[in-house]
Amino acid sequence: VVPECNPQDIAQWKNRGIIANPNCSTIQMVQILKPLDDAYGINRVDVATYQAASGAGKEGMEELVVQLQKFFEFKLDECEPKVFAHQLAFNVIPHIDVFLDNDYTKEEMKMVNETQKILHKNMEVSATCVRVPVLRSHSEAITIHFDRDVDAAAAREVLRKAPSIVVVDEPAAKKYPMPSISSDTNETYVGRIRTDNYRKNVLHLWCSADQIRVGAATNAVRIAQKWIEMQE
């Protein structure tokens, strides 16, 4: 459940006695997709994630910090990666979780399946999940295909009115979402909103959110708050 998207599904807790928190990368994406889908109708989403080391837990963050320290001591070659498949410092790794028979990773298929489930829509979703040498906050480059033409300025206004979303989109002033902005906050930041050069029904955008808060703890608190409201 993501309360901004499918609060009605909270009621299903009575059937199983549990309310599931989705994957962290899925949460920040569907918070953006939901208002846009309501306004224009989405038929396909392509996303590439830039996921922070702390997405692999405290050990992942510590491994990155140690590698950075060893680099400046000229001892990086002495560091054997344990949490990640390869050295993460000064590197990007297109591999999060295990690879499946379809050549996608489990993380990527989570984003596919959870997006369809949360939005109650059998839209096409394709994901490439990448680990990057950032301590905190996941970022995503998202391409959205709509049922009709979409004006970027209008889409920007839709997102400005959406809950838990902060639009930071002033490229001329060098203002756009970054992990340094989103870390330690409870909002999903979105920017670089632009219409495709060739297809007017396609929108590109960039987002960043603290995966520990937005992608886990804050979403759980919002679920609890919504559940309490439903009991009153």
Active site (catalytic) residues: 24, 138
Spatial separation of the C-alpha atoms in residues 182 and 213, rounded to whole Å: 10
Give the C-alpha distances (Å, rounded to integers) separating 175 from 28, 136, 151, 167, 192. Answer: 19, 19, 20, 10, 9
**Measuring CA to CA, which residue among 32, 28, 12 is closest to residue 179?**
28
Give the C-alpha distances (Å, rounded to integers) separating 40 from 5, 31, 35. Answer: 15, 15, 9
Spatial separation of the C-alpha atoms in residues 26 and 31, rounded to whole Å: 9
Reduced 3-state DSSP string for 133-144: CCCCCEEEEEEE
Q: Report which residue type is found at 79.
A: C
**Measuring CA to CA, which residue among 219, 208, 203 is closest to residue 37?**
203
* 155 φ/ψ angles, rounded to the nearest 5 degrees: -65, -35
* Structural contact between residues 84 and 92, judged by C-beta atoms closer than 8 angstroms: no
Spatial separation of the C-alpha atoms in residues 13 and 19, rounded to whole Å: 6
